Amino acid sequence: MSYLPAEDRYDHMQYRHTGRWGLKLPPISLGLWHNFGADRPLESARAILRRAFDLGVTHFDLANNYGPPYGSAEESFGRILAHDFRPYRDELVISTKAGWDMWPGPYGEFGSRKYLLASLDQSLARMGLDYVDIFYSHRFDPETPVEETMGALHTAVQQGKALYVGISSYSAERTREAAGILRDLGTPLLIHQPSYSMLNRWIEADLLDTLEEVGAGCITFSPLAQGMLTDKYLNGIPEGSRATQHSSLSPDLLSDEVMEKIRALNEIAKRRGQSLAQLALAWTLRDPRVTSTLIGASSVAQLEDSLGALGNLDFSSDELKEIDRYATESGINLWAGSSSE
């Protein structure tokens, strides 16, 4: 059956400008890091993507190595795009990235011109696209000049294979450097994608100020701390959860001290009439310099719960002070190595 999106999909979503640029994003965007690879049924991914678009989510975020296996999230998305979303391509913002390991050998990761442009061509082929809306350098490469990495992003725009460019997990200093190079080339830095959550607040020190200075937007990833800021782990580690799969969430991170913080934040969420996940998402959006926050979803129900955060984005000063007592650094930033170079 042909997919017809909801006619009221734009009636309730309030879109935000990306920095000082014209592109608007929904405050909650859908990331395809998990749950969209070949290890998951295509129909499950299709249902989530359809429902997201029906609810006004126009931004779908990918990367070359999302899966598993690597590349399969883009392949799955490409199939769904061809079947369901092709008539609505101009209503979508589709992003992909390159920087982490993708294929063997010296040209299959980091930030060289050879890797980035080859990876982009592969991503476009997997998704069946002529261009992506945003192409990111997925991490800082300490062994490649920033001029080369930013030059490759600029070339992608010149070639018509990307409309905008972004960076992810760059420090404030490197962000300022990258933005200056791109500005001189004539391809401005649109957006930065850092990890950020109530348990990982590194961007508040100087990155947000830098993004405001250079005019770039901010889209945060892992706002639920790889699932820690949900009700999933409040009563222990359930079988089959991410913490049991030796992936991006180690059980070691769920220490007694961290769980005390999480349970206290859950009580605040209850008083606000929100789930813990909804509180965590709304909190990342409290700063107007944050354009959007990225969620993952393993089901339509989880997607809908996350989007429910948009029903209450306001915080009183007393609420923020109380949250600050428990929303403290918890040693969970898996991407700190990139942003500390």
Answer for the pair 61, 95: CB distance below 8 angstroms, yes or no. Answer: yes
Residue 243 pLDDT level (bands cut at 50, 70, 90): very low
Residue 239 pLDDT level (bands cut at 50, 70, 90): low
Nearest to 258 by CA among 186, 337, 200: 200
HSE (side-chain half, CA atoms, 13 Å) at 200: 22
Q: What is the pLDDT of residues 260-299, one digit of tens each?
A: 999 999 999 999 999 999 999 999 999 999 999 999 999 9
pLDDT at 53 over 70: yes
Q: Quick one: pLDDT at residue 235? A: 75
Other C-beta atoms closer than 10 Å to the C-beta of 55 total: 20
Residue 341 pLDDT level (bands cut at 50, 70, 90): confident
Q: Mean pLDDT across the stretch 195-201? A: 98
Q: Could you tell me the sign of the dihedral formed by the alpha carbons of 206, 226, 120, 43, in that order?
A: negative
Which residue's entry shows tokens 């734009």? 10
What is the pLDDT of the chain when averaged over all its residues?
95
pLDDT at 245 over 60: no
Residue 31 pLDDT level (bands cut at 50, 70, 90): very high
Q: Quick one: pLDDT at residue 178? A: 98
Residue 253 pLDDT level (bands cut at 50, 70, 90): confident
Residue 186 pLDDT level (bands cut at 50, 70, 90): very high
Q: Quick one: pLDDT at residue 285? A: 98
Strand ranges inside the chain, DSSP E: 16-17, 24-25, 28-31, 59-61, 93-98, 132-137, 162-168, 189-193, 217-220, 292-295
pLDDT at 225 over 70: yes
Nearest to 219 by CA among 12, 17, 10, 11: 17
Across 264-288, b (16+ Cβ under 10 Å) vs e yields ebbebbeeeebbbbbbbbbbbbeee
Percent of the chain with pLDDT over 90: 90
Amino acid letter for position 60: F
* CA separation for the pair 272, 27 (Å, rounded): 20
Other C-beta atoms closer than 10 Å to the C-beta of 313 total: 14
Amino acid letter for position 253: L
Q: Quick one: pLDDT at residue 271? A: 97
Q: Could you tell me the sign of the dihedral formed by the alpha carbons of 61, 312, 196, 301, in that order?
A: negative
Residue 61 pLDDT level (bands cut at 50, 70, 90): very high
CB neighbours of 255 closer than 8 A, spacing ≥ 6? none
306 backbone dihedrals φ, ψ, rounded to 5°: -65, -45
Q: What is the pLDDT of residues 136-170, one digit of tens each?
A: 999 999 999 999 999 999 999 999 999 999 999 99
Residue 230 pLDDT level (bands cut at 50, 70, 90): very high
Residue 233: Cβ-neighbour burial (10 angstroms; 0-12, 13-18, 19+): buried
Q: What is the pLDDT of residues 300-321, one digit of tens each?
A: 999 999 999 999 999 999 999 9
User: Among 9-18, 56-65, 246-255, which is the least confidently predicted range?
Assistant: 246-255
* CA separation for the pair 80, 86 (Å, rounded): 9
pLDDT at 179 over 90: yes
165 backbone dihedrals φ, ψ, rounded to 5°: -130, 155
Q: Quick one: pLDDT at residue 252? A: 67
Strands 16-17 and 24-25: antiparallel
